[in-house]
Structure 1
Amino acid sequence: MEKQKRTRKYVTMKQVLSLKDQRLKEKDRLKPKRKENNDPRALKESSLTPFLLLFLQYNTQLCLAYHILLDTKFIKFLFKAKLDLVQLVMGCLYAKCIPHITDCVMAETEKLGQKHRVVLKIDKEPRLERLPHTHKATYVDDCLVQRLTQHRCYVVTPVDQDLERRIRKTPGVPIMYISNYRCNTERIPHGYGAPRF
């Protein structure tokens, strides 16, 4: 038996005139809606995105002297790429930046051994401020997440994806990362001095 050739049948549709078409009579046309601009402050508030409003609602502790909480892997990456931390961060945020290192990060770099002794010298640099930890364990991820939930005034630099997922669960915490030898930030509103791209 031979196969029958089947052709597709296309549906013909009626053309519909838009309500702004000139062929319609004046009474049938759609009239444009006019907006009343009485209050200029109302326009500025409405132009803010809802995400920005949520961010400001959750995190009001950020200020223009940004406090940056460093991770061990971020410091190792800076050393491998031969980048200066303070210049890189200040070039991204266009504001004064204060990098912080917790005792857990220092303990983790000490555990790396002689292979990473130059990273230890970077950690002991006088431009970096030391933060004492209040818990007993020396696991860095737990320390960073605990500090972020208590104080949301930090910009965090995670390289590990698991740590990044844990940080994203706390609302209003900005994340900094490096791509193409440049520093970029996520979740910083423009009202706090972040650059507009």
Structure 2
Amino acid sequence: MPGANRQKKAKKIALKKSLKTKLISLNDSRLKDGGKISKRKLKKKKNDSTEMEVKKVKPITSAMFFAYNTKLGPPYHVLVDTNFINLSLKNKLDVHKGIMDCLYAKCTCYITDCVLAELEKLGPKYKMGLRAAKDTRFKRLPCLHKGTYADDCLIERVTQHKCYIVASCDKGVRNRVRRIPGVPILYISNRKYTIERMPDAFGAPKV
């Protein structure tokens, strides 16, 4: 019948118009997955202003909340770096005697494999420093990590073990050690040894 055919044609036209005008939502998963429908539900992201930054802070022992590390005591354990040995020889200072005079106590000096390797790399110009580092009075500390960067090695050791005093004349190393609570720093000032963070030491600067 002609009336039925007209109704069918009108329905087809209306269906085409409705398909053309239908819009895809901006949150549709097909837009984000390149046309593929994702099975996972989309999670709404929170605003940056409402999110709180969570920082992981390493726990600090109770011994670090005083004027200096209360775990330190004679005989002191001193970690020596490359430039401390070289500048001590330049200023004609005996490392072992000078440190004991500064701290007014018995001390044990330690040298790591990294520091010794660094002295060997410096060449014949610093052969006196290498000879001084191989003195039997220095106790060797083996390094199990990769690489021979002495600064990182010293920082890692004093972070893990709070029983050491760091002997260094390098400003960069001293600044890094200052960020670690409770670790004293030994260095050369006015051709003599001076120590930070140990106010009771004989060689500590007078305030």
Determine if contact 2:64/2:181 at 8 Å carries over to the other structure.
no
Determine if contact 2:119/2:126 at 8 Å carries over to the other structure.
yes
Residue number in structure 2 paired with 1:7? none
The number of residues matched between the two structures is 142
Residue number in structure 2 paired with 1:122? 132
* C-alpha distance in 2 between matches for 1:121 and 1:114: 11
After superposition, residues 26-175 of structure 1 pair within 5 angstroms as: 54-55=65-66, 59-175=69-185
Q: 1:9-62: per-residue Cα shift (whole Å, max 9, x none)?
A: xxxxxxxxxxxxxxxxxxxxxxxxxxxxxxxxxxxxxxxxxxx98336x73321
Letter in structure 2 aligned against 1:134: L
Determine if contact 2:99/2:107 at 8 Å carries over to the other structure.
yes
* C-alpha distance in 1 between matches for 2:66 and 2:113: 29
Determine if contact 1:61/1:153 at 8 Å carries over to the other structure.
yes
Q: Percent identity?
A: 51
Unaligned runs of 5+ in 2: 1-62
Unaligned runs of 5+ in 1: 1-51
Letter in structure 2 aligned against 1:55: F
Shift of the alpha carbon at 1:106? Answer: 0.2
Of structures 1 and 2, the larger Rg is shown by 2
Letter in structure 2 aligned against 1:165: N
Given the superposition, is the C-alpha separation of residues 53 and 154 from structure 1 closer, same or farther in structure 2, using an over 3 Å criterion? closer
TM-score of the aligned structures, taking structure 2 as reference length = 0.64
* C-alpha distance in 2 between matches for 1:104 and 1:146: 12
- 82-91 vs 97-106, which moves further: 82-91
Runs of 4+ in 1 over 6 A off after TM superposition: none
TM-score of the aligned structures, taking structure 1 as reference length = 0.67
After superposition, residues 181-196 of structure 1 pair within 5 angstroms as: 181-190=191-200, 194-195=201-202
Shift of the alpha carbon at 1:117? Answer: 1.1
* C-alpha distance in 2 between matches for 1:161 and 1:118: 23
* C-alpha distance in 2 between matches for 1:55 and 1:138: 34
Determine if contact 1:55/1:171 at 8 Å carries over to the other structure.
no
